[in-house]
Chains A and B, each alone.
Chain A
Amino acid sequence: MALLSAIIGAAYTVAVCVALGALLVRRLGLEFCRLEATLFEFVSGSACLSLAVFALCVVHQARLPVFLAIGTAAIGWALWGARGAPQRKSLPAVSRGWLVLFAVVYAAFFTCYLVNAMAPEISPDGSGYHLGNVARDWRTGGFDWRYHSIYSSLGQGIEMLFLVAYLIGRNPAAAMVHMTFQAVLPLLMLCYGRRFGFPGVGAFAGLLVYACPVAGIAGASAYNDLAVATLVFAGFYLIQVNHHNLSFNSMFLCGLFSGFSYAVKYTAGLALPFAAAMTRGRRWLALSLGAMAMAGPWMVRNWIWLKNPVAPFLNSWFPNPYWSASAEHEYLAGLRQYPTFKSYWDFWSQLTVLGGLVPGMIGPAFLLLPLAVLALRNAHGRRLLAAGAVYSIPAFLNIEVRFLIPALPFFALALGLAMQNSRGMLPAVALFQALACWPQVMTTYSDPNAWRIRGIPLRAALRLEPESQFIASHVGDYALKDAIALAVPPGERIFSFAGRAQAYIERDIVVGYESSQGWRIQEAMERAAAAKSGRRSAALLAKSEGCGFLLVNDADAVANDIKQGMKDWGVNKVAEANGTTLYAIN
């Protein structure tokens, strides 16, 4: 039943996206070819649905009956409008060899990703704040204005789509919605190649990105990176299609994609200036209108709610009581902390093959990336390389390899263009990437700690293995779920020094580094533990901030002090599991 509802939840959300997109594309009068049209309808519809859910969250009407009513109406309207529509043209054909290779590899990886997405969510950020935010929105019927965390103040463009799926099929449904973006991206790349006369290159690049290990795991989890990659690529595609004759409507849609990219992940805000640069400022009004339609609501929300339109960043420009500039500085410095590499080769091998020091890897075929500069001889290649360079910028600000994902489609296409005249090389390299990136094959050579798909958990996906057993074996915090539900009254908050799997804990958690309130509690407790005095006052401070419970990992700085001096702190141990202890403050 859980599996069926997850599939229905994801399918329904995707269907509503396509329906809304079909209505929008028809309204804008944009011409697309057959497969291309469906893909663009999904992408543009996802922006519309996200915006609609945002509005419902603001007025606290994000409830299943409302979603069902709006979605069903949209689907009906789209079907009604599609009656008698002329048949669309088809894009230039792909050769049979490429078609077979693409279909086989795509089908194999699609199955692998689908099974992983269908299994209960166990990814760190997915079960942490992405679905944590969704679960909170579900509990309150919209945005919870009382809860402050850097992760709840980020744009939640994709979480708005997750919410629709979540209400029907819970966590796996949300992951499957993200997986749909992942499945759309290589098809869009294939269409791009077909439209511009290099179908083999499109298929090659699509396979390279689809098989990419970090894109695989991120796409099959409730993250947002593949949605960002698909959106920025769709925006780029749209500009290329209309390069010589930029219409107001096409630029409005491009703006919509740019704005939605920002709403999904701030780093993708680069899409707007890049689109403006690509079009040399033509139709800037349409572009800006589209972008503001999607990004504007999130900025206004944050401005009114947190006094900072770009919260949780630029706090020195927009001082607010919820997060300080110094905390922001410390947090960002931590994200930029690259490990020490012995050599350039060490860095490249970690990035492409091993994936231990930089979490995740992009696949060994990307070692050929330097060859992509040869695409500079081609006008398309120059634009693709420029886009790849621009969308790589966020990777310099965060060590996680997934921040490179939005740049990969551009680099893969540029690499394909550079190698397209070398007969037999594109299929050979694509096949190599596919074989080398198959989960079982990766086990033989990648770092044991690399963030990647580790298998095909069919039993967990089909719920033959109990959901709770599967989650508990991967998510440490899950063991405390029942204890928290029993001991912590609804509405009560818990303080934690580290981030938690909030998707599975039905109480709000105030994390130390995620808000000014958290910082206050954390600093007071750490100071008390170091000075060995004022422990009770620190515990009472947490209680006065609304946190009557503490979740402490054995590795936390204060863990031993609390364990040995529960009386001094005035706390009681409630439960303990997997190196984490739940305390109640008396």
Chain B
Amino acid sequence: MEQRYTLLIKIAFAVVLVVLVVQVYRAATLPVGSGEAYLYDRFVRPSTGQVLASELPDRDVLYSLLEKRSVGLFHVSPFSVRLPGFLFGVLYLVAVWRIAGSMLGSGWRFLAVVAAAAALPLRWDWFVRAEGTGAALALLVCAAWLAVERRYLNLIGICLGLSLTAQIGFAIPAMALALSILALRRSWWEWIDRVAIPAVAVVVILLAVPASHARAPAENPPELTAGQASQLQSALDALRDDAGTKPIRIATFPAAEPIVNFYRAQHRANNWERVLRENVAGHFDYYLIPAADSARAGELVYGDAYFVVVRAPL
């Protein structure tokens, strides 16, 4: 259905723009969470050979590949690791707009659906956080858009395959959408050639090698709350100021470990030894620990409701 630039469309456009601006703002200002830092530290920072040798189940293959490009171009920062997610957010909004336009015309229902669909992801920061969920969702919605508009059938399969490689948990929704397309089009061989085969080929191309190496049990880093993540940045700033340029070893707790490493890469703090999750022993220069466990001897460098930074006695 052809859309005209009615007032409702202009409002919808304004809503979409506002959502985009909010996403950019949040992507640039939100402190990096444990999951994001973990994805960077385990799958983006190391070389491909090191990633494969670690045998960890790669959670978000497509996202980590795109994040690697983004970090390569713009250096490590909360925004650069989130840039691919933001771009998938743009794709999501375009797809939602086109689906709503095709199915609902340009009336109130169009506005309501676009506004709701655009705003909903903000609730979970799908297109703000550096993780595969937003990418997978955007690609799935993109496949739905192409199916609704009944064109570029090959691309539907590719989008479905990419969605699965972005987040393996999207296998069932992707399959459901693929089967819905089959049910609607009722052309078995066309579906096989244009949807199923491209989807499978994309999955094999992107997942064959990572999946062959994913033998170790999954690591599930405990997540910090938004407030804790924000305070952690302040703690790390204080630690950096205190340490200056002298080489240091930091001991911390599992949820903070990837964030400390992310911070180290972001600020090029090469005098900080990388924090390891396991086999940690020996002397440490600083302890970054939850405030509840702050009985450790040493000089307090930083303290708040959540964390303390203690400099170990010489």
Which A residues form the contact surface with B (CB < 8 A)? 345, 349, 352-354, 364-365, 367-368, 371, 374, 377, 418-419, 421-425, 428-429, 432, 436, 443-445
Contacts and interface: CB of A to CB of B under 8 A. Distances in A.
Interface in B13-55: 47-49, 52
Contacts of A428: 201, 205
Interface string B196-220: 0110110011001101110000000
Given A374-B192, A444-B48, A444-B49, A422 B208 contact: no
Given A421-B193, A445-B52, A352 B201 contact: no
Contacts of B49: 443-445
A364 B206 CA distance: 10
A200 to B, nearest CB: 14
Contact of A418 (B157, B197, B212): B197
Contact of A422 (B194, B204, B205, B212): B194
B305 to A, nearest CB: 45
B102 interface: no
A345 B49 CA distance: 21
A389 to B, nearest CB: 21
Contacts of B197: 371, 374, 418-419, 422, 425
A429 B208 contact: no
Contact of B204 (A345, A364, A421, A424): A364
B52 A444 contact: yes
Contacts of A354: 212
Given A364-B204, A368-B204, A371-B197, A445 B212 contact: yes
B201 A419 contact: yes
Select the residue from B189, B194, B204 with max chain A CB neighbours within 10 A: B204
Nearest to A433: B205
B230 interface: no
B228 interface: no
Contacts of B48: 444-445
B70 interface: no
Contacts of B211: 345, 349
B47 to A, nearest CB: 8
A432 B211 CA distance: 16
Contact of B208 (A353, A424, A425, A444): A353
A367 B212 CA distance: 11
Main secondary structure of the interface of B (DSSP, over half): helix
A419 B205 CA distance: 14
A349 B205 contact: no
In order of increasing CB-CB distance, the 10 nearest A-B pairs are A349-B212, A421-B193, A364-B208, A353-B212, A422-B197, A444-B49, A432-B205, A445-B209, A367-B204, A425-B201
A444 B208 CA distance: 13
Contacts of A345: 211
B154 interface: yes
18 contacts: A345-B211, A353-B212, A354-B212, A371-B200, A374-B197, A377-B189, A418-B197, A422-B193, A423-B194, A424-B154, A428-B201, A428-B205, A429-B201, A432-B205, A436-B208, A436-B209, A444-B48, A444-B52
Contacts of B208: 352-353, 364, 367, 436
A419 B211 CA distance: 23
Contacts of A436: 208-209
A285 to B, nearest CB: 42
A38 B256 CA distance: 67
Contacts of B193: 421-422
Contacts of A424: 154, 198
Contact of B201 (A374, A422, A444): A422
A424 B158 CA distance: 10
A61 B60 CA distance: 66
A101 to B, nearest CB: 16
A358 B194 CA distance: 35
B200 A368 contact: yes
B198 A422 contact: yes
A368 B192 CA distance: 14
Interface string B93-121: 00000000000000000000000000000
A445 B213 contact: yes
A241 B198 CA distance: 32
A445 B198 CA distance: 24
Contacts of A419: 197, 201
Nearest to B51: A444
Contacts of A429: 201, 204-205
A353 B209 contact: yes
A579 B49 CA distance: 32
Contacts of A377: 189
A365 B208 CA distance: 8
Contacts of B198: 422, 424-425
A445 B211 CA distance: 11
A341 B271 CA distance: 45
B209 A365 contact: no
A365 B204 contact: yes
A6 to B, nearest CB: 34
B157 A422 contact: yes
A432 to B, nearest CB: 5
Contacts of A371: 197, 200
Interface centre among B157, B200, B205 (most CB of A within 10 A): B205
Contacts of A418: 197
Nearest to B209: A445
Contacts of A423: 154, 194
Contacts of B200: 368, 371
A354 B211 CA distance: 11
Contact of B154 (A349, A422, A443, A445): A422
A428 B213 CA distance: 23
Given A421-B189, A444-B48, 4 more contacts: A364-B212, A368-B200, A429-B204, A444-B52
A432 B154 CA distance: 18
A385 B194 CA distance: 22
A313 to B, nearest CB: 36
A418 B204 CA distance: 16
Contacts of A364: 204, 208-209, 212
A443 B201 CA distance: 23
Name, among A367, A377, A423, A443, the residue most crowded by chain B CB atoms within 10 Å (CB to CB). Answer: A367
Contacts of B154: 422-425
Interface string B115-141: 000000000000000000000000000
Nearest to A354: B212
B306 to A, nearest CB: 40
A40 to B, nearest CB: 33
Nearest to A418: B197
A436 B201 CA distance: 14
Contacts of A425: 154, 197-198, 201
Interface string B261-290: 000000000000000000000000000000
B209 to A, nearest CB: 5
A429 B197 CA distance: 11
Nearest to A432: B205
Nearest to A350: B212
Contacts of B205: 428-429, 432
Most chain B CB within a 10 A radius of its CB, from A345, A423, A429, A445: A445
A349 B205 CA distance: 13
B55 to A, nearest CB: 11
A57 to B, nearest CB: 46
Contacts of B194: 421-423
Interface in B139-197: 154, 157, 189, 192-194, 197
Nearest to B48: A444
A353 B212 CA distance: 7
Nearest to A365: B204
Contacts of B212: 349, 352-354, 364, 445
A424 B202 CA distance: 11
Nearest to B194: A422
Nearest to B158: A424
Nearest to B190: A421
A443 to B, nearest CB: 7
A428 B189 CA distance: 21
Contacts of A353: 208-209, 212
